Amino acid sequence: VLSGCGVYDGTEIHEASAVLVHLSRGGAEVHMYAPDVPQMHVIDHSKGQPAEAESRNVLVESARIARGKIASLAKLTTADHDAVIFPGGFGAAKNLSTFAVDGKDCKVNGEVERVLKDFHKAGKPIGLCCISPVLAAKVLSGAEVTVGHEEEEGGKWPYAGTAGAIKELGAKHCVKEVTISFPAHVDTKNKVVTTPAFMCETALHHIFDGIGAMVKNVLKLTGK
């Protein structure tokens, strides 16, 4: 499930690509979806500032990553899939929810909430990385997730404050590294698998490997 195209206002492209590579390597058949809604705003990524008076659609932008093969999130049905994965990027906190603005008081997009609840009720695994675990923390009561560390540690974990918000949402936060040795947390009860990814300032290959561990555990939980 994508949230646009670009780290500051949509899906983090490297994370989405890593998820797709690891799913391909795992032999999974992949279908991509995004909500057909306007973005919260558009960011000029060369300046890191909002592009005033410009608007974009989340589904249309997500189609860039999907190479055009994408459908509206409203068409995603649990019965047709074994698992669901949400890459990160600020789009998860801006377009899939209002977390970027409202924090613990955020609202989750109706279709996103439906998908999370339906997969959870069906006992099918849910994978999330980077900032997207806040979606599960908000929607799935008592879920265990990780966004990495709970202290900034000199800038290595610049978004560490997210862990506190996750606790305020009623979820359990588990401290995890981004590296391959301990890169993913598996909540076996809720079948929720999370990994920090770009919540950490580190080398790209560590992000890639950590996402690989998340995907591997999601596929394992499908039992196929």
Catalytic residue positions?
130
Cα–Cα distance, 153 to 72 (Å, whole number): 40
Instruction: Determine the longest span between alpha carbons in the chain, in angstroms.
Output: 48
CB count within 10 Å of CB 40 equals 22
Cα–Cα distance, 205 to 189 (Å, whole number): 30
Q: Burial, 79: exposed, middle or buried (Cβ in 10 Å; 0-12, 13-18, 19+)?
A: exposed
Of 95, 48, 58, 85, the C-alpha closest to 197 is 85
- State both tokens at 135: 């979606």
69 to each of 2, 13, 30, 58, 79, how far by Cα in Å?
A: 12, 16, 10, 14, 20
For 12, what's the count of Cα atoms within 13 Å in the CB-facing half-sphere? 24
